[in-house]
A and B are shown apart, each in its own frame.
Chain A
Amino acid sequence: MKKICALSLVLLFAVAVLGVAQEIKNPDTLIYMSYGTLNSMDPAYVYDTDSGGLIFQVYENLFSWPYGVVDGNEKTLTWSLADADLIPMLGTVVPTEANGLKVVLPDGRVQYTIPIRQNVKFHEGGTLTAEDVEYTFERGVLQDRRGGPQWMFFEAFSGITMWGVTDLATEVLGRDVDRAGVLELTADEQAQIYAVVDEWIEVSPDGGSVIFTLGAEYPPFIGMLAHGASWGAILDKEWVISVGGWDGQADTWAAWYNPGGGTAAEESELYDQANGTGPYVLTLWDPGVERVYEAFDGYWREAPAMTTVIHRQVQEWTDRFLNFENNDADIVTVDPQYVPQVAALPGVTIHKNLPSISMNPVMFFTTDMDMEGNDFVGSGEFAEDGIASDFFNDIHVRKAFNYCFDRQLFIDESYGDVGGYKTHGPIPQAFEWAYNPDPSILYDVDLEKAEAEFRLANDGALWETGFTFTIVYNEGNDSRRAMAEMLEFNIESLNPKFHIDLLGMPWTNQLDYLLTERMPLFIIGWIMDYPDPHNFAQPFLQSDGGGFASWQGAYMVSIYEDYFDDLVAAGMATTDQAERAQVYYELSRLSYEYATHIWLPQVNGYRVAIDYIQGWAFNPAYPDPYFYSIYKAYE
């Protein structure tokens, strides 16, 4: 017994000795810890930030957003989201009308010609050509997996008349074609459809450029090509074919359409393999556990300083924190509520007030609710113990709710150290040219006005009758719970007959109620697809934009149809920023007038940087840290 104890102690001591700290640990290896899981490595398939983060390191696009540097030494930010500032990457010149590479054709179509860089190698040994670029975008468009990002290109190429392959097939063949029908297309039919796509994306006669032809002016198009998170990433055509991808033929593409029905990501041939031109090669992917990257020794630019990057998925905050504290992790994901904890660590700087391109969260009203099996409407009657289906049809009710939310208090209490800003509609502050902080279109807390609106609601009957319903928020999300609590407190303080219950619910449960329009109020957010105001105006304010607006019930949808849809389209009809800014201001103003949402305060972007990490690139459009520019040194 004694021997066993002694041996155990010796063994413990031996293993503990291994933990001797160095000045800069792992000097050639960057260790990044975050949470979230990668869905796929197929650039045409992915539509989530985590997958985009991998593609961002391994692949490259035709252009890239320039970055500033936010690191331990707080270098000056020089990032930009303007097309004019885009950095040529695999495309050598950003097409503009001034340089003649963007041409508006007499019939209104728009052509972009992009010269392709020479002597760029893929990881597996191939050499980049214009054909690779053509193939990349044709493959993406024809794959068009359900729930994926290709709708953007359909919108752009078609002149905002199509959303996917089914729309294209229906138009070309003159009959209704659904997703199942695409799989049954004959070779001839496939060839007919491909002929249209082929016109959209072509290789120039000299073979050195790619020509994109859009159905009409589409302002975000170049930005879509630049967005470094999947759909713009350039593939090696020969390699994709060699691993079982589409052979590039006009009459075979349907076999690769919508792999796995859009939900079985593993059905795509590029699900678990990547071959880009980027500075890093993916050498290991252990799903849900870690990814390992090694520097690409054939990279066309200067080699990255970090020869190895290990990206670990660590769900537990305590683990991430302790690893960061002990410098066993160099960059970790820090949720807002943990910022004060890391700020106290030696050598750590919190960079605040960074722009972020998201509207997350926003509170939506549901009109004409489905009352069947609805657990959130109390008795379901216009009475003190419930609400009727059309509770939020009344604009006075919507305005009253808006006046009950104290935005500044929420920013101070919930966003704390990181800070936030009040929103004036769906346009994020990061779009400085389109965001208008006009206080006259902002509902700020005013309980007197709230009471006045409630007294007007239902021709005065609501104030006398009262109501009861439940606000649902994301379980585990402290911010959203706080928002719901604030509303509850302020509303119930106005009238003892007003009752609001709160319920935390997982996303998986919420989806059901959301889609069946049974949540009186729902809280949801939107992360950008590409950095353009249209990508925010559309999901929030277009009746059939495939976004959240369509879940707000028939009454609200009719408002969008009557007052918003044409404006949303107008925002895309010109590239003149001043004109577009006016459109987005008008959309925000109308949203205020009709009280379509409760536009909640948005948290500012922030960065937690430790002093020996240098060169950390920043651009709000980047999905993840850009490993290429990072190096370790005390400066």
Chain B
Amino acid sequence: MLSYIIRRLLMLPVVVFGCILLVYIVMQFMTPYQRVSVFISSPNELKNTDIDELVEDYGLNDPAWMQFGRWVATIFRGEFGYSQAAQRTVTNAFARFIPVSAELALWSVVPVILGGILLGSASAVRHNKVFDHVMRVVAIVGWSLPTFVAGLLGLFVFYGILEWFPPGQIGIAAGAMMRSAEFVSYTGLITIDAILNWNWFVFLDALRHLVLPVFVLSFVSWAMLLRIMRTSMLEVLRQDYITTARSKGLSEKVVIKKHARRNALIPPLTVAGLTIAFMFSGMVITETIFDWHGVGRWAARAAQTFDMPALLAFMLFNGSLIVVANLIVDIMYAQLDPRVRLQ
């Protein structure tokens, strides 16, 4: 197992390098003037700027291999450069934005797993009954509904009309508490920090702001997982060993939990692991609609403005995340199915 893990982790720099190189090659199709535009935010600034001098200073006219080498060298020095899109260094940007996205992802995992796996399992057990039909319809709706539509609709109804769940990460009063000297930010995740500070007002306020974006973010994944879990469970329930287990006199609860569900988990778990890993890059719509300043939104803005340092660093981050997520899924797969040997 250990050697397998090490071998897989050694693939990480290769995969990441490949992704970065791809982005870098695509960026070279842009002219130096296009790439220098990230430094010019308004026409007024052009008045006292020699653009050619700017291109020269940033080496944008240098050969691609030279520019790439320069960037790699800075990476090895631990410098990831400055993100114009974030108005801070790339390192600071990650430190600021990852906890925001992580908080969304963390709370989304719960409904994705619980909703998708448990409800999918329950739906299969109640095959063709009312519960099953309702779940199938809900899953199709969730799967079909675009994220931005669900988000905007949710905002209009639950905030615009009901004033229950506002956009943003935190309210005014809770924000003031967090800015006070008494509140210590340990993790950057507001709900976790609120618990650690034993501040339940901030915790509940943060939770209130989480409801809609978590729902929107997890709904599609949840619906997809429910369908996959249901199908997988139905297939397992048809197996001979399930019939054998029942005929041995085991209770239905034990049959489902110990025999059926465990085996049915393998396909949906694979999907769940990758879904959660892809969440970071897929959060841009949710973060934009609900005004959460996370890493997905930052990456989208960086792409729009050709913010190279931010884009390349994000590729590093995202590539690493996917590789690690794949590895975790494979390990869990091996744990669930003893027939699988990691080699």
Contacts and interface: CB of A to CB of B under 8 A. Distances in A.
Interface string B65-86: 0000000000000000010001
B166 to A, nearest CB: 6
B74 to A, nearest CB: 14
Contacts of A11: 207
Interface stretch (B153-161, B239-247, B263-271, B311-319): B153-161
B184 to A, nearest CB: 16
Interface in B73-126: 82, 86-89, 96, 114, 118, 122
B48 A148 contact: yes
A511 B114 contact: no
Contacts of A263: 39, 54, 58
Contacts of B293: 288-289
Nearest to A512: B33
A374 to B, nearest CB: 13
A546 interface: yes
A512 B34 contact: yes
B50 A266 contact: no
Contact of B159 (A1, A283, A322): A322
A26 B172 contact: yes
A322 B153 CA distance: 12
B160 A287 contact: no
Contacts of B164: 15-16, 19
B246 to A, nearest CB: 21
A150 B96 CA distance: 33
A48 B289 contact: no
B49 interface: yes
A146 B211 CA distance: 46
Interface in A3-17: 4, 11-12, 14-16
Contacts of B41: 39, 48
B208 A328 contact: no
B254 to A, nearest CB: 16
Nearest to A25: B172
Interface string A519-563: 000001111010000000001000001111000000000000000
Interface string A301-333: 000000010101011101100110110100000
B208 A29 contact: no
B49 A314 contact: no
Interface string A28-61: 0101000001110000000110000000000000
B306 interface: yes
A18 B208 contact: yes
User: What interface size band does chain A fall in?
Assistant: 35 or more
Contacts of B231: none
B343 interface: no
Nearest to B84: A263
A331 to B, nearest CB: 14
B177 interface: no
Contacts of A509: 34, 37
Given A48-B41, A319-B168, A38 B156 contact: no
A526 B166 contact: no
A108 interface: no
Contacts of B182: none
A29 B172 contact: yes
A507 B44 CA distance: 13
B86 A287 contact: yes
Nearest to A292: B179
B86 A288 contact: yes
A20 to B, nearest CB: 9
Contacts of A265: 87
A48 B87 contact: no
B44 A48 contact: yes
B159 to A, nearest CB: 5
A151 interface: yes
Contact of A38 (B47, B87, B304): B87
Nearest to B36: A511
A164 interface: yes
Contacts of B51: 515
B260 to A, nearest CB: 16
Contact of B163 (A283, A326, A506): A326
A287 B164 CA distance: 28
Main secondary structure of the interface of B (DSSP, over half): helix
Contacts of B338: none
A243 interface: no
A393 B46 CA distance: 25
Contacts of A308: 176
Contact of B289 (A37, A310, A316): A316
A1 to B, nearest CB: 7
Contact of A526 (B43, B48, B165): B43
Task: Give the most central of B89, B163, B211: most A CB within 10 Å.
Answer: B163
Contacts of A548: 43
Given A146-B50, A325-B160, A315 B288 contact: yes
A440 interface: no
B192 to A, nearest CB: 17
A119 interface: no
A322 B57 contact: no
Contact of A12 (B82, B88, B211): B211
Nearest to B306: A508
A107 interface: no
A187 interface: no
Contacts of A477: none
A474 to B, nearest CB: 11
Contact of A511 (B33, B122, B162): B33
Contacts of B331: none
B48 A323 contact: no
Nearest to B57: A261
B22 to A, nearest CB: 20
B252 interface: no
A1 B126 CA distance: 14
B178 to A, nearest CB: 10
B290 to A, nearest CB: 7
A104 interface: no
B42 A19 contact: no
Task: Give the most central of A47, A149, A151: most B CB within 10 Å.
Answer: A47
B165 A16 contact: yes
A322 B48 contact: no
B288 A146 contact: no
A146 B171 CA distance: 40
A506 B34 CA distance: 10
A244 to B, nearest CB: 18
Interface in A499-516: 506-509, 511-512, 515-516
B54 A506 contact: no
Contacts of A150: 48
B34 A508 contact: yes
A29 B53 CA distance: 45
A264 interface: yes
Given A326-B160, A515-B33, A264 B204 contact: no
Given A15-B207, A509-B34, 19 more contacts: A16-B162, A18-B204, A37-B87, A47-B44, A147-B40, A147-B48, A164-B48, A283-B179, A287-B87, A289-B96, A314-B168, A319-B155, A322-B156, A323-B166, A326-B166, A508-B37, A511-B40, A512-B31, A515-B51
Closest 5 CB pairs of A and B: A512-B33, A287-B87, A15-B208, A147-B49, A508-B37
Interface of B: 31, 33-34, 36-51, 53-54, 57-58, 82, 86-89, 96, 114, 118, 122, 152, 155-156, 159-160, 162-168, 171-172, 175-176, 179, 204-205, 207-208, 211, 288-291, 293, 304-306
23 contacts: A1-B122, A11-B207, A18-B208, A19-B163, A19-B164, A19-B165, A21-B163, A146-B48, A147-B48, A164-B48, A263-B54, A286-B96, A287-B88, A312-B168, A315-B288, A318-B152, A323-B166, A326-B163, A326-B166, A512-B33, A524-B43, A526-B43, A539-B47
